[in-house]
Amino acid sequence: SLRGGSTLRDEAAGVAGLITPWNWPVNQVMAKVASALAAGCTMVLKPSEYAPLSAGIVAEVLAEAGCPPGVFNMVHGDGPGTGAALSAHPEIDLLSFTGSTRAGQMVMTAAADGIRRVALELGGKSPNILFADADLPTAVQFSVENCFSNSGQSCDAPTRLLVESAVYEEAVSLAERFAAAVKVGDPQQPGEHIGPLVNALQFERVQGHIRAGIEEGARIVTGGLGKPDGFETGFFVKPTLFADVTNDMHIARNEIFGPVLVMIPFDGEDEAVRIGNDTPYGLAAYIQTGDPEKAQRVARRLRAGNVYINGNYADTDVPFGGFKQSGIGRENGPLGLEDFLETKAITG
């Protein structure tokens, strides 16, 4: 209640259209479905056509848990067909989409005619700022392994490793050692290794990015074009490390979505922040330093929705989302719930 006899009431926004990607399918589905259910929305989920099976299991779990008929609905299909139809459907009240920035732009366009609300979690080209006062071996190992995790197919992967010039060459040597130790293997076998990319189209896109980096004069430290030895069948990519990259190069500007890390030197905090923010994206940023005050100072200056310091990750109740072309709105926690609510003021 407010002064003057007014009451604010949060109500379900209505019918939610949910469009989710293939790279973390259960996580991305549940981040939307759980919030929509908690808000009281009914929903239509379109999971990625490249990863539909886990969404089917989620549907079975919801049915067994007693979710009322008509509250959770699922349709399968591709983006240009089913996704576009869902985005433009007049009975959808809001759209929550996770995927590429290019596809997010199309969702916004499709939703515009009906002035439907849109929540977007899109791409990233996240800076990972490594200062000379960090524990260098630990920081470099984290930086390499986290970039290559999930075969590099993560929207918030720390794909630009910015290193203070005083320790740059040492960091390159360490990164070479750690990158060369990353193993490629059969995803159906247990063990510490990365698997293939999702499909042939993504494989060719990543090869094109690597080729562009070579043509622009970046130095390949490990990896490169082609498939790893012994993995001619399947969409496997060599874990690739580029050094001597400048932030205007293709491989520093574009989201590669594969196991490709670029290293860029910098001098001082101001240049680190300038390079870190010099991107159309703003999903995540990473800081490696032994100085807690510097970490907080730099974190406040970075234009990113999530900043991770010295390998620490947020809990699931912390909102996730980005600035600029990385999206609109947040997922998880109270702010994620708000995307599925409308606020009504009742006076008198």
Which residues are designated catalytic? 121, 155
- The span from the CA of 203 to the CA of 330, in Å, is 30
> Which residues are 263's β-sheet partners?
161
171 within 8 A of 132, measured Cβ to Cβ: no
* Segment holding 138, helix H or strand E: helix 136-148
Using DSSP's 3-state secondary structure scheme, residue 184 falls into: strand
The answer for residues whose C-beta is within 8 angstroms of residue 323's C-beta and 6 or more apart is 282, 283, 303, 304, 305
CA 294 to the chain's CA centroid:
26
**Alpha-carbon dihedral 65, 68, 72, 75, rounded to 10 degrees:** 100
SS3 of residue 95 by DSSP? strand
Distance of CA 324 to the CA centre of its chain: 14
Torsion of CA 35, 41, 46, 47, to 10 degrees: 20
